[in-house]
Amino acid sequence: MEYNTARNHLIMREYGRNVQRMIEYILTLKDREHRQEQVSAVIELMGILQPHLRNVEDFRHKLWDHLFLVSDFRLDVDSPYPIPTRETLKSKPERLPYPKKHPRHRHFGKNLERVIDKALETNNPEMKDGFVQVIGNYMKLAYGNWHKENVHDDAIRAELSSITSGELQYYPTSGNANPAPVINLETQFRAPGNTTAPTASVKRKQFQQGKYKQNNNNNNKNKHNKYKNRNK
């Protein structure tokens, strides 16, 4: 009986022992044409055994690289792709130059600082207002993600002004550097064509202040007398 401990090392377990034996048999063939035909058949079999590679870009290129890897780079056949070597497959990638910059406000991130710098460099007022709106909205979103609660616009305006030393002002209601005008409710809700008569909302406010209590009592007395006479 043959045990696995007595067999040679299995290079790629994904393809199994039989595929490795086929490649070892191909290495013993002396006819180059016959060897090329056998290699093409093994490539098709490897593609059937690994169907998930079909969704990978250049999956046949990977199959040929695996073929040479299993053969320990000793297979002498024609490949449609560059033949790999031991050094190219085991070479380490180059070290990535990670940025070593620390953001001034880490809870907002580095990208927001870049947008703020871009807004400060812009001379176009409309474009700068657009930058300010985007910055303010993102600050509100980041604040909500960190604190799990809503933040008032005044807090965002104060923090943005502190970050930019007062150069950028956030006004979400108007979208520009001028705050929204204050609306006088008493003049806004007056009846059309009448500058003195108050509307229902103003009357309700005045009623709460006690100005219409006397008239209201008289109306209640009249209604009571009306229903009293009807019952008689």
pLDDT tens by residue, the chain, 232 residues = 777 778 888 889 889 999 999 999 999 999 999 999 999 999 999 999 988 877 777 888 989 999 999 999 999 999 999 998 888 877 788 888 876 667 677 667 778 888 888 888 888 888 888 888 888 888 888 888 777 778 888 888 888 888 888 888 888 754 444 443 333 334 433 444 444 445 555 555 555 555 444 555 555 556 556 555 555 5
Q: Tell me, what amino acid is at 75?
A: L
Residue 126 lies in a domain: yes
Residue 65 lies in a domain: yes
Residue 150 lies in a domain: yes
Contact 38, 29 (CB under 8 A): yes
- State whether 114 and 60 are in the same domain: no
Residue 220 lies in a domain: no
Residue 200 lies in a domain: no
Q: Burial of 218 by CB count in 10 Å (0-12 exposed, 13-18 middle, 19+ buried)? A: exposed
Contact 139, 168 (CB under 8 A): no
- State whether 143 and 71 are in the same domain: no
Residue 58's domain spans which residues? 4-89
Residue 8 lies in a domain: yes
- State whether 71 and 127 are in the same domain: no
- State whether 9 and 85 are in the same domain: yes
Q: How many CB atoms lie within 10 A of CB 181?
A: 8
Residue 203 lies in a domain: no
Q: What is the pLDDT of residue 209?
A: 54
- State whether 68 and 128 are in the same domain: no
- State whether 13 and 54 are in the same domain: yes
Alpha carbon distance 64, 22 (integer Å): 15
Whether pTM exceeds 0.85: no
Q: What is the pLDDT of residue 179?
A: 44
- State whether 76 and 117 are in the same domain: no
Alpha carbon distance 205, 79 (integer Å): 90
Q: What is the pLDDT of residue 21?
A: 92
- State whether 114 and 85 are in the same domain: no
Q: How many domains are there within the chain?
A: 2
Q: What is the pLDDT of residue 38?
A: 94
Residue 169 lies in a domain: no
- State whether 31 and 69 are in the same domain: yes
- State whether 116 and 55 are in the same domain: no
Q: What is the pLDDT of residue 114?
A: 84
